Amino acid sequence: MRVLLADDEKLITVTLGDALRGAGFETTVVHDGEQAIRSLRQESYDCVITDVRMPKADGMAVLRTVKELHPRCRVILMTTYASVDSAVAAIKEGAYDYVQKPFFNEDVIAKLKNLQKVVDLEEENRRLKDELTSRPQFGSLVGTSPKMRAVFDLIVSVAPKDVGVLIQGESGTGKELVAEAIHFHSPRRDRPFVAMNCSAVPETLLESELFGHVKGAFTDARADRQGRFERAHAGTIFIDDIDDLRPAAQVKFLRVLQERTFERVGDSRPVKVDVRVLCATKKDLWKLVGQGAFREDLFYRLNVVKIELPPLRERAEDIPLLVRHFIHKHGHGEDYDVAPEVMESVQAYGWKGNVRELEQAVVRSVALSGEDRFLKREHLLQPVTMEGTGVVAGGALASLRDKVAEAEARHIRSVLAYTGGHKGEAARILGITRKNLWEKMKQYAIGGGGEEA
C-alpha cells in the first residue's frame, strides 16, 4: 500500500514515517499542504494521512484534492482535541477516518492494516463484477438473465459490508446459496458459516438450537450444548424460514441483534457473540407484521438490505444453463444432452418447486436414461406436467370456452392419474373441494382412477 504522510510537525513525520515503513507500507513524507497537493498531482496513493491544520493548505484542501484526482484513495486525518469537530466534518465529506493527537503509532498502523483488508476486498469485488459480465455462474448460483445479474450485483455490493441481509424468495430458489456467496466474499470468509432452518426444528427445541442450553435445562438436556449462534462466533449465521420463528423466540432473537448477547436455555449468564446475521423468508414479512405474526421492530432490524430471488418461471432463459450445470454436477462424467424440442417443454413448464425441482428432474432423468445420452421429456417432466403444459399443434380452431374446458378436463385426468385415482389427494392438488372435483368429473365424463367412464 502506498501512503502519503503530510504534517508540519517534524517529530511526527520522522517517527510515524519510520513506523509505517517498518510495517511494510511504502511511505512518502511531506511537510505542508501545498507539498501534499503537489504530490497528489504527480503520483497516486492508496491512503493519505494528513494533519487537519497545516501551513499553505489545510487538511480539508488535501481531502478535496484526493476526492477530485484519486476517488479510491482513502484519507485519514490527524487532529488535536480542539479540532475534532473539523475532523468529524471531514468524515461527512468523505474522509475515511481520523486519529486524535497524541496517538500511538501502532494505532495508526492498525487502521492501515484494516484499510488494506477493505481495499483488497473492494479490488476482489471489482474483479468479480467484471467476471460476472462474462460468465454465467457466481459460486453455485447460475444465470445470465437480468434478474439474476441484479442479484449478483447486490451480493458483490453487500458482501464486504458487515450488515444484515434479508433474502426473500419462494422455496427452492436458492436462498442459502445467496447467503453462502455473501459469506465467502466477506471479511468473515475464513470463519464459520452456520445455517439453520426454522421450519425444520420443532418449536420446543428452537430456542435450544439457536442459543444452546445447560445441563438439566429440560428432560433430555444431559450436558451443556452450544447453540448455532455460539458456533457461528466471528463468522456468519444464516437463518432460513425466519417467518416460521415463533413470538417468544423473536424476542430473544431481537436482543441478539441489538446487544450481541443472549442466555442459553436454563441459564441466566449472558453470552457475548460476534456474528453477521443473514436471514431468508419465503413469505412477505411486512404482511406478517400487519397480521401480528411478526414483530415490527425485528422486521426493521432484519430488513437492512433486501435481496429478492426471482422464481424460476420468471427467468426461463436461464433454464438451459441450469440444465447443463446439473448434468455436469450429476452426470457422473457422461455428456448428456437435451433435444431442442424437449428443452422448449422444460422452459414452458411452471416449475413450482423452482431450481430445486429442476435439479431433481435432471437427477431423475440421468438415473433413468440407460444407454441413451439424450434426456427424455417423460423423465424430465412428471406425468402431471406432461398433460397440462403442452400446446396442441394443428387441428380445427375452437372457441376459448371449449379450449379452456378441454384443458381443464385434461388436467383433472392428469392429476387423477398422478394420484392413482385418489380423489381427496387430487382435490388438494387442484385446490378445490372433493364435491367440486366430483361435479367436474361428472361434467367431463371422467371415471374413477383418472379414466373416462
pLDDT digits (tens, 9 = 90+) for 153-187: 899 889 988 899 999 999 999 999 999 999 999 99
* Domain of residue 210, residue span: 140-308
Would you say residue 147 has pLDDT above 90? Answer: yes
CATH number at residue 81: 3.40.50.2300
Average pLDDT over residues 364-385: 82
Q: How far apart are CA 355 and CA 450, in angstroms?
A: 29
Same domain membership, residue 326 and residue 301: no
pLDDT tens column, 241-259: 999 988 888 988 999 999 9
Q: Is 143 left (phi over 0), alpha (psi -120 to 50) or beta?
A: left
Residue whose entry in the numeric block shows the C-alpha cell 468524515: 91
User: What pLDDT, in 10s, does the model give residues 226-243?
Assistant: 889 999 999 999 999 999
Same domain assignment for residues 103 and 183: no
135 domain residue, yes or no:
no
- pLDDT (average), residues 28-35: 93
Angle between helices 247-259 and 203-211 (to 10 degrees): 10
Q: Residues 196, 297: one domain?
A: yes
Overall average pLDDT of the 133-147 stretch: 75
One domain for residues 146 and 100: no
What gap in Å lies between CA 143 and CA 137, rounded to an integer? 6
Report the CATH number that the domain containing residue 404 is assigned in CATH. 1.10.10
CB atoms within 10 A of CB 350: 14
Q: 256 and 376 in one domain?
A: no
277 and 146, same structural domain? yes
